[in-house]
Amino acid sequence: MENKKISQHLENTLKHLYINPLEKCNLACKICYTKKTKFVLSKEAILDFVDRYQKVQKLESITFCGGEVFLLADFVELINELTAKNIFIQIISNGTIDRLAEIKEPNMVNLIISLDGLKDYHDQNRGIGNFAKSTDLLKKAIVLGFHTEIFSIVTKENLEQIPQFEEALATICGKKMEITYHPRKPRTYLKAHPISNILGTVKGFEFLSSQEINGLMKTKQTFPPQNLGCYQISLMSNGQVYGCCEGITPLGSITTDSEELINNLKNRLAIWDHKNYNNKCLGCVEKDFVCGLTDNLKIKKYENNS
C-alpha cells in the first residue's frame, strides 16, 4: 500500500473484530434499517472464529451489535469468556434489557447505548417508556464502572435539538457523554444494502439533505466519520464476513481462513488507494457504495476512474 496513513490505520483496524450474532430484536423502531432475519451465531461458532483469528493476528477488541445482543441467553457468558482472554468488548445495545450485574469485568466493556434524542422523540421511534429504561440502564452502568458511549440517529426533525439533547444527557448522566451521530441512512444506502429495511418516508423522521449531512460530519463525531477508515473484519449472523459493518460484498465466510480474509480486506484498500478516490481520507472497502454517501463525500465513482 503506497498511502502510509491508510496502511498504518489498517494495522490498528486489524486488531479489532466486529460481530453481529443476530438480527432479532425486542423493539421495532420505526426507522430501524435492519431486516429481522432468523439467523443466529452460536457462542461456540463465535469463539472458534475468534480463536482462529488470534492465531494469525493480534486481537485487542471486539464490537458486538445486532439486532439486540442481550436477547441471546448465553451472550453474557460469551462476554465473560472473552474478557477473561483480555479482549476488550464493545456492545451496541438499545439499553432496554438489563443484564449488567452478570458481567464480571465492567472495566473491560464499553456499553454503547442508542438514544435518538430527547425523550419524546426517542420514544416516538423506539416506543413509549424506552428513553427512561435506556437512560436508567446507562446511569447504572456508569455507577458499576462500565465505559459508556452514545449512538444517536439524526433526521431533519431532531437535528436542531442536538444542543438540548447533549445538555439533557449530561444532566441525566452527571457528566458529558461521548456521542456519535448517525445520519439516518440515506435512500441510496437502503436501496443497495442486502439487509436494509425501510426505504420510504416515515412521518416525523425525514432523511437529512446532503448539505445537512456534510454540516453534521464537519461539526460532530459521526458514523461514517468524515475521513472514513471505518473498515473492520465483520462477521454477520448469516456467517458471511464483510470488510465493514455495513458491507455489501463479502470477503469470505466464517469458515474462510483468517489470513485470506485479512488479505482480501487489504486488497480492497489497495484498490481504493490505487484509484486515489479521495486522497485526504483513510479509505473505504466498498468503493461503489461508501455507505450511500458518495455524492456527499465528493468521491468519484469507480466507473469514472477506471
Q: Which does 65 bind (CB under 5 to 8 A by kind): ligand SAM, ligand SF4, none?
A: ligand SAM
Which 221-260 positions form the footprint of ligand SF4 (CB under 6 A)?
224, 228, 230-231, 244-247
Q: What is the Cα–Cα distance from 262 to 234, expressed in whole angstroms?
A: 11
Backbone angles phi and psi of 230, in degrees to 5: -95, 25
Query: Across the chain, where does the E strand assignment appear?
Result: 16-19, 61-64, 88-93, 109-114, 147-154, 179-183, 233-235, 240-242, 252-253
| Binding test (CB under 6 A) with ligand SAM, winner from 25, 71, 118, 132 | 25
CB of 282 vs ligand SF4, minimal distance in Å: 9
Q: Residue type for 240, please?
A: Q
Binding mask 240-279 for ligand SAM (x = CB under 6 A): ----------------------------------------
Burial 283-292 (b: 16+ CB within 10 A, else e): bbbbbebbbb
CB of 34 vs ligand SAM, minimal distance in Å: 5
Binding mask 152-171 for ligand SAM (x = CB under 6 A): -x------------------
- Dig out the grid coordinates for 275 from the structure: 484509484
Q: What is the DSSP letter of 149?
A: E
Is 150 near ligand SAM (CB under 6 A)? no
Q: What is the Cα–Cα distance from 115 to 159, expressed in whole angstroms?
A: 13
CB of 107 vs ligand SF4, minimal distance in Å: 25
Burial 101-133 (b: 16+ CB within 10 A, else e): eebebbebbbbbbbbbbbbebbbbbbbeebbeb
Q: Is the peptide bond before 67 cis (omega within 30 degrees of 0)?
A: yes
Closer residue to ligand SAM in complex, CB, 88/205: 205
Which 169-208 positions form the footprint of ligand SAM (CB under 6 A)?
182, 184-185
| Binding test (CB under 6 A) with ligand SAM, winner from 1, 31, 47, 179 | 31
Length of the chain: 306
Question: Interface residues with ligand SAM (CB under 6 A)?
Answer: 25, 31-34, 65-66, 68, 92-94, 114, 151, 153, 182, 184-185
| Positions in the binding site for ligand SF4 (CB under 6 A) | 25, 27-29, 32, 34, 66-68, 94, 224, 228, 230-231, 244-247, 284-286, 289-291
